[in-house]
Amino acid sequence: MNEYGYIHILINPSFKEDWIKLIVTENPILSESDLRQNREIPLPYVVYATIQIKDEDITCLYSEFEARTAIDYITQVETFFNISPKQALEVFYDIAFANHLKMEISIYDNDLIHVLLFDRGIQNVLEVFDEEIEYEESDFESR
């Protein structure tokens, strides 16, 4: 059993800018098939950010996110939300802060990964660092 769970915030160039898809998984990295789940969508999903959180806290974080944003479902499929990725991160942060949860958020921005570490109940970011990353051509779509 994994100690951590992950919530991936996905965007799609064929969607409006304030539409996201969420995937909750035990895997820190999504496969190409995860990013191309629906053949009706012309372009693959792109991972905007990944939240790493202890397994015991992931249900609290995701359930409360759904409760706060349920009015913003795009479809009856619960994983699509009418909220910008940046606003989604703000909601996740607010929930983590209110519930004293510890989480790590990796935001993928072109060639950089911004990693934010939040400790239980501490409002300030503990650490922010950027890492240059090099992509294999096959990896490019998954970031």
**63-87 residues labelled b (16+ CB within 10 A) or e (exposed):** ebbeeebeebebeeeeebbebbbee
Q: Which of 22-36, 46-60, 102-116 has the highest mean pLDDT?
A: 46-60
Closest C-alpha among 71, 92, 119, 110 to residue 22:
92
Of residues 78 and 97, more confidently modeled = 97
Predicted pLDDT of residue 89? 92
